[in-house]
A and B are shown apart, each in its own frame.
Chain A
Amino acid sequence: MNTITDLLHKSRLYPVLMLDSLISSDRRGRLIHFCRFAIVFLGLIFAFYLSQDYLPTFLTDYLGLIMLLKNKVLGLMLISLSIFMVAILIEVYFSSFYYLELVAKNLYRSDDIFTMTVGRILYGAKTDDLLVAFLHSDIGGQIIRRLGIGRPEADLFLATNPSPVSAMLLAPTDGPVIKLKDLTKYIFDQSQAFREFLLSHSAKETEFIGAAQWVVLGIELQIWESRWWELDNLTRVPSLARDWSYGGTYNLDLYGRDLLVDRETNSLEANTTTRESEIRQLEAVLSRGREANALLIGEAGPDKMDIIYHLAHQIKEGQTIPALAGKRPVLLEVSLLMAACKEKNSFEQTILKIFSEASQAGNILLVIDDLANLVASADRFGSNIISLMDSYLSGNSIQVIALCDTDNFHRFIESRSSLMTRFEKVSLASLSQKDITEMLLRAIWEVENNFKLFFTYQAVNEIAQGASYYFPDSVGSDKAIDLLTEIAPWARRAGFLIIDSKEVRSFIQNKTNIPIGEVTAKEKDKLLNLESILGLRVIGQREAVAAVASAVRRSRAGVRNPNKPIGTFLFLGPTGVGKTETAKALAATFFDNENELYRLDMSEYQGPDAVDKLIGSFSSGATGVLSTMVRDHPYGVILLDEFEKTSPAVLNIFLPIFDEGFFSDMNGKRVGVKNIIFIATSNAGADLIWEMVEKNPNQELSRSVLIDAIVERGIYKPELLNRFDATVIFRPLGEIELAKIAELQLKKLAKRLTEKGFTLEITPDLTASVAKNGADKFFGARPMLRYIQDQVEQKVADKIIAGEIVAGSKISFVASSLSPADLEIKVKNL
């Protein structure tokens, strides 16, 4: 039987754990502090005694009692000193075992049974229940706190008497001893009540294990920092006189920045990186005897420079490989150089000077911030820069790292084989969300310290998710760090001290306008009554309104597919039945702003250049309308008006857009559309809709008949129609609906007039006339606005000009006595 006591007794760490429980870490700290104070205090008194011969007599007479107690003082001081030394020795003894776990993990032997952290939890157990021991332990408390669970909640949970977790099956899973990871996983697997408790606080297994590892990592780093005598910590002190053996770089310094003294080198991004693999590749290339040149290729964005800053940071801290030790990384800013060079000669001379100086200096790691720009600019001057640099690049006197965006690499660099032979390519892999979370976990302590905040593990996960999900155009790691540094001051201002996932979501909602925060009571009411809210604006289209409302609710509840646009709808129906109005109502409801509707008239994309116009052209370098629109407004509703009128090639572009939530622009760069609602409106099949309505005015329209007809006519392919979340059929409007629309439009006019100080009375005559004369069988309610403009607004305007309508006037329209079809204006002044 493997009880906790058995495990403890069998372990080699038992004596040290016993000592730890006898004199806990806190007590040891207090004892050391007290002894230190006593030694100093008694030492001062003793010093007073030693210097009595030099002190004035009146003072020594006055303090005669102290003089008499000199032996006692010395005795007390020696006792304090011996206790102090014992306390220090115990501390060193204890930390040397702790060190086994933290730094030299491979030094554990199987007869240790468990690590010190696990040992402390087990030793603290009062019963044979691992769950209680874990939750009562200091580290267990820290872990659950990182999951957003406070001590009172844990106590309440324990008060429900969850089934005990015995240590019977507890065994190491990886390595010779039981680690904290094994213990946490074991407790999680063994206790269903604990699993449910965690789940009720939005913590699943990954969060629980992740939080445990995060807490351990924090302790490890803290202890590692305090061990100043470790070689890694000692080498952080910069070497003296290293520069004396290397030359200066006057010309390079004019166009460059010394990265060792650059502020960015000490930034949060430089301290933490998820790019260990790329850095190792760079180090391998730079360690070569000759041609130690690396070409770092990645998406446009700061990730490439972050790697360089991290490398510079490591060089500065003396923690890099021998080939880079003592190097001076200097960033050559190509744009600065190009701005200074006016013609070929000065450009070539400057380049030669820079390389020759850097080469002679002997310790330069030259970083070219934009190789493509350098090469392209040299081309413009008609200069062969590759041959100018070649002798330096092929030698062993200089190491070069050149940075280049992926698209520019393909455009300007890849085809130049003479240049490519001198550089070794290092490509930046795209970061997984796990990598980003890991980087954030390391970066967060500094932010917590600076802003006196506390982040839960779920909040960190939410930041990592939010960065890649809601800011698809940005480079993940950079955006995540940006989000983290933006959330901290926002949270301070908002008065939050603990940041959980809901605070992160609220922040992202504030920033993007996408409703993802906690559903408030007001919003809940709005969401549940969405159909009636939309129905106030969109008249007579119950099916359309229901489809749109469902999509909004799905998205808001967070159950939509995260790898597709928020929603994709095809609105089919005749002109003037409310398709565009529905799109506007959707933008106003979902993004709380009608202006978040962006319109593309698809009839403009018909010719052979339609695709180029939409997503850009590689050959001409022109950017596309859709690419620009999405980049400028990554959150909103895009209305694809008259969708059937565009070319089949353009329709094909939308297949992956609707399916995968992104498309590639002219440079092959991904443009994310995951935060967009696409609404395609179309008159396709309008004749059929009319036909169906005329045959059976009160019957539901047959979707299958309509869609079959559209496919048969070759307007849309079935694969495109299948990619829409919903194909919504808009019915032609009847008289009742038209009257309601007329009333709605007139109310809008009345509101405008009220703002001017006039009152428009909406009479039944007026409504009936607008509904009858303003609507058209084929154009629906579309001509209604024109009618109101001509028949109502114009008459009001004429009267205002004539001075017959003044502030306070009451205006009404009645059917003309001469011609009942016309309206007659009546004005009543107060």
Chain B
Amino acid sequence: MGVITILIDYLLWHYSKAVVSLLLVFRNLFLFITNLFSLPLLFRTWLSPWRRLDEGYTKNITDIGAIASTLVLNILMRLVGFIMRTGVIAIGLLTILFLTLLLPLVLAIWLLLPFIIIFLFLLGIGLLFK
């Protein structure tokens, strides 16, 4: 009687609360990856100069040389920033993609887990006495 009560209670938990908890864990992992790779910040500053290393332009508009040199430097800094950030954003997005693919798999395994356990156990017994 006791074992049956426990079993019913367990199965109710396994297919209700536990599934919700699993989804919450995945939500946490998605948020963690987003935070780990600073994705919102990197998207916002994708084209910003590397470590804000940009120079102000000279007020003398006739000094074409100085303006050109500042322009080149600023473009270079933005380019460095863009390349580095693109790398990190790509890795972050790939990790999120991996998690997204993992979610249905883990969910399916979880839902089938009681059957998988019974199957593995019976298979094991079968092999043992073969």
Contacts and interface: CB of A to CB of B under 8 A. Distances in A.
B37 A240 contact: yes
Residue with the highest number of chain B CB atoms closer than 10 Å, among A16, A231, A326, A361: A231
A229 B26 CA distance: 9
Nearest to A92: B18
A231 B120 contact: no
Interface string A671-697: 000000000000000000000000000
Contacts of A243: 51
B48 to A, nearest CB: 6
Contacts of B124: 74-82
A235 B42 contact: no
B20 to A, nearest CB: 10
Residue with the highest number of chain A CB atoms closer than 10 Å, among B5, B37, B116, B127: B127
A244 B127 contact: no
A824 B113 CA distance: 113
Contacts of B118: 82
Given A245-B41, A245-B48, A79 B125 contact: yes
B28 A18 contact: no
Interface string B1-23: 01001101110011001100100
Given A82-B117, A85-B113, A241-B38, A76 B128 contact: yes
B120 A244 contact: no
A92 B88 CA distance: 35
Contacts of B52: 245-247, 360-362
Determine the main DSSP class of B at the interface with A. Answer: helix
B36 A96 contact: no
Given A18-B6, A229-B28, A248-B51, A78 B38 contact: no
A96 B48 contact: no
A93 B6 CA distance: 11
Contacts of B48: 245
Interface in A11-47: 14-16, 18-19, 22
A417 interface: no
B105 to A, nearest CB: 16
Contacts of B35: 234-235, 239, 318
B85 A241 contact: yes
Contacts of A78: 120-121, 123-124, 127
Nearest to A83: B121
Given A75-B128, A241-B84, A247-B53, A93 B10 contact: yes
Contact of B29 (A76, A83, A234, A361): A234
B59 interface: no
Interface in B28-76: 28-29, 31-32, 35-38, 41-42, 44-45, 48, 50-53
Contact of B28 (A15, A93, A231, A242): A231
A94 B116 CA distance: 21
B107 interface: no
Interface residues of A, number: 45
A241 B37 contact: yes
Residue with the highest number of chain A CB atoms closer than 10 Å, among B28, B81, B126: B28
B25 interface: yes
A74 B44 CA distance: 54
A241 B34 CA distance: 12
Interface in A176-204: none
Contacts of B42: 241, 244-245
A237 B32 contact: yes
A532 interface: no
A13 to B, nearest CB: 10
Contacts of B84: 241, 244
A72 B9 contact: no
Contacts of B13: 93, 96
A233 to B, nearest CB: 9
Contact of B38 (A235, A242, A361): A242
B17 A96 contact: yes
Given A89-B113, A247-B53, A75 B130 contact: yes
A235 B29 CA distance: 10
A92 B18 CA distance: 9
A71 interface: yes
Given A234-B28, A241-B37, A241-B88, A72 B127 contact: yes
A470 to B, nearest CB: 46
Contacts of A174: none
Nearest to A362: B52
Contacts of A22: 2, 6
B3 to A, nearest CB: 8
Given A15-B9, A75-B128, A245-B42, A237 B36 contact: yes
A86 interface: yes
A525 interface: no
Contacts of A75: 123-130
A360 B55 CA distance: 12
A230 interface: yes
A239 B125 contact: no
A83 B18 CA distance: 20
A240 B88 contact: yes
Contacts of A74: 124, 127
A307 B80 CA distance: 38
Given A92-B18, A229-B28, A18 B128 contact: no
Nearest to B126: A75
Nearest to A237: B36
Residue with the highest number of chain B CB atoms closer than 10 Å, among A71, A76, A78: A78
B32 A231 contact: yes
Given A72-B127, A241-B38, A360-B52, A85 B32 contact: no
Contacts of B18: 92-93, 96
20 contacts: A14-B5, A15-B9, A16-B6, A22-B6, A75-B127, A79-B121, A82-B124, A89-B113, A93-B10, A96-B18, A229-B25, A231-B31, A235-B35, A239-B38, A241-B37, A241-B84, A244-B81, A245-B51, A246-B52, A247-B51
Given A229-B25, A234-B31, 12 more contacts: A15-B10, A16-B9, A18-B2, A19-B10, A74-B127, A75-B125, A85-B117, A86-B117, A243-B51, A245-B45, A245-B52, A247-B51
Query: Closest 8 A-B residue pairs measured CB to CB?
Result: A75-B127, A78-B124, A247-B52, A75-B128, A79-B124, A15-B9, A234-B32, A82-B121
